[in-house]
Structure 1
Amino acid sequence: MRECEAWRNLRHRNLLKIITSCSSIDFQGNPFKALVYEFMPNGSLHDWLHSSGNTSRLNLLQMIKILIDVANALDYIHNHCLPTIIHGDLKPSNILLDNDMVAHVGDFEYGLGSEMTSNGDIYSFGILVLEAMTGKHPTDDIFNEDLCLHKFASRALLDNVIDIIDVNILNLYQDDRIVLQNNEENAKKIEECLTLTIKIGVACSMDSPTQRMDVKKVVRELQRILDTLENIYGTLFIIQV
């Protein structure tokens, strides 16, 4: 009921719409409460990142657009709602995709007290970016007390970021190298976009809340990356046609 009350005044294209709520008794005689959301035919981001049965993969353009959608949703609930709303549980399974692959954030915990802050959402968003770009779950077996997803990505920034990019994104990118091989400038720009995206993930998931990137800056930086990629791939499409 608290979620429904908070949701009543929310209006944003990247937030999942609640159709209704229901309260009843389940088949075992226990109290049952549920929220009925708008159906999202393309499932969750988690399905696309980690489901072994899903043969379709997200390309770089799709991934950046999804990350922008999520960042816009956070900007809205953090900076354009009164009172400010904290999601509190941002992760790939709570990001659903519609027919057009537009991302919708749902399943809020709605933290409004001192225990939850917008900085916590930014941290979760940073981890989400790194998970999306590397294809590695934060609880992956390679991570232990000495290594986490944030450190894994931070170290790659000092060496070669391409080495940690999800093989599925990289394979789609490598397919384009056939067209890009005669245009080293565009190939370099794409690699720079990959690096910049990882930098955003690292900046948002810093240990110190005060060092984390502001969500408005996140939106601007991701949009700049998307503009670069759309210019490149728009040119490629014309060439291929």
Structure 2
Amino acid sequence: MHKFLPAFANLQQRKLIVRNTCRLCEASTDSIAHLVFLCLVTMCILASVGLPSVPALQRNAIVHEGFACSSAKVSTFVLSFLLELESLANVPAPTMRVKDVKWFHPNGDVIKFNFDASFHTDSKSSISGVIARDSQGLIVAACSYPHLGVVDVFITEALAFKMVVSFTFDLGFRLVQFEGDSLSVIKKLNSAMPDKSIISPIIRDIKEASK
């Protein structure tokens, strides 16, 4: 009714040269009012499915693809579609289990540093973020730092660890606890064996800074 749909009457008002005849019934002007309420094909569909109104289904396929479809086929499609909607209404909604992730307070004067990193494949860049909290859970420091020229997520996690170590010493904290989600980086830092992976220079820098 707002003349948004490309019925031929609307296209003519936009100065397009089209044959302004309904392709469904070939009996009247192809307007929205005709398609929805007055077209003989639409009226047959209304009568067969028992609905007060229904859009001119399959019109685009008939006009642009030469697809022939009778009112009986359209009404069958409408009825089957309604039955499908009714069956979906009886399907129970999916349940989601929310994992209860708890943050544990550090003991005494220890400051706990939680850190993580995000990686953007297209720009080969990442951003590391860290937040420091005391034994009462109060935030005592926080920062974020961008990294450019990063090739994969593995390096991103190592850079995040290096950043949090540097941030810790810049603030002057001595009793600290680090908590991150990169198990591979943590294992390499705890290992006495020399690392030979792509992040070996970063691991070496972190160990030197932690002495």
Give the TM-score category using the shorter length: under 0.3
Query: Of the two structures, which has the highest relative contact order with CA contacts closer than 8 Å and spacing of 6 or more?
Result: 1
Larger Rg, first or second structure (1 or 2): 2
Which structure shows the bigger proportion of residues in helix conformation? 1
Which structure shows the bigger proportion of residues in strand conformation? 2
Structure 2 length normalisation: TM-score? 0.21
Structure 1 length normalisation: TM-score? 0.19
